[in-house]
């Protein structure tokens, strides 16, 4: 009988809440701000420009901002998912709402692409928040 070998991989403990909460929250509000706080200026600038440009292009294409609506399960999933992705853009979303950006969900390629750009800007900002957390946790440089 062969000897069993167990290779237990030691996991690093998660960083304290106080270590990552402020940089991740700053990244949510202002894309790339957490990276600037962690002295990752190149990455922060790239993420800031990417998220802002995607969001601005989505607005220029008159993309639809999702609102939470109930209905059948698929409609609910799409509307709540889109809303949370729009909300993930942080200050960009709040600024657009504050200045009264309201665009009906129109048929057409350009409007549809604009909606996708607005959602993707939020998703990219979520990835940016995860990146800040991983840098603080020591999983990434």
Q: Is residue 80 part of a domain?
A: yes
pLDDT of residue 139: 85
Taking phi first (over 0 means left), then psi (-120 to 50 degrees means alpha), and beta for anything else, what does residue 2 get? beta
Q: Is 66 left (phi over 0), alpha (psi -120 to 50) or beta?
A: beta
What whole-number distance in Å separates Cα of residue 112 and Cα of residue 61? 8
* Among the ranges given (22-26, 105-109, 115-119, 123-127), the one the predictor scored with the smallest mean pLDDT: 105-109
Q: How confident is the model at residue 141 (pLDDT cuts 50, 70, 90)?
A: confident
DSSP code at position 3: P
Cβ atoms of residues 44 and 36 within 8 Å: yes
Give a yes or no: residue 5 inside a domain: no
Note whether residue 84 is domain-resident.
Answer: yes
114 assigned to some structural domain: yes
For residue 28, tell me if it sits in a domain. yes
Is 12 inside any structural domain? no
- Number of domains the chain is built from: 1
Answer yes or no: is pLDDT of 1 > 60. no
* Residue 133 placed within a domain: yes
In the predicted model, what is the mean pLDDT of residues 7-32? 85
- When mean pLDDT is compared across 21-25, 32-36, 101-105, 113-117, the lowest value belongs to 101-105
Structural domain including 63 reads 17-137
């Amino acid at each position: 009988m062969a000897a069993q070998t167990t290779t237990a991989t030691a996991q690093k403990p998660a960083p304290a809440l106080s270590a990552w909460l402020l940089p991740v929250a700053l990244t949510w509000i202002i894309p790339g701000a957490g990276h600037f706080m962690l002295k990752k200026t190149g990455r922060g600038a790239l993420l800031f420009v990417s998220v802002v440009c995607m969001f601005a292009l989505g607005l220029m294409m008159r993309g639809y901002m999702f609102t939470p609506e109930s209905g059948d399960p698929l409609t609910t999933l799409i509307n709540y998912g889109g809303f949370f992705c729009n909300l993930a853009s942080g200050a960009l979303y709040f600024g657009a709402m504050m200045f009264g950006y309201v665009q009906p969900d129109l048929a057409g390629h350009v409007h549809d692409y604009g909606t996708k750009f607005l959602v993707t800007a939020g998703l990219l900002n979520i990835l940016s928040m995860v990146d800040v957390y991983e840098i603080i946790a020591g999983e990434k440089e």
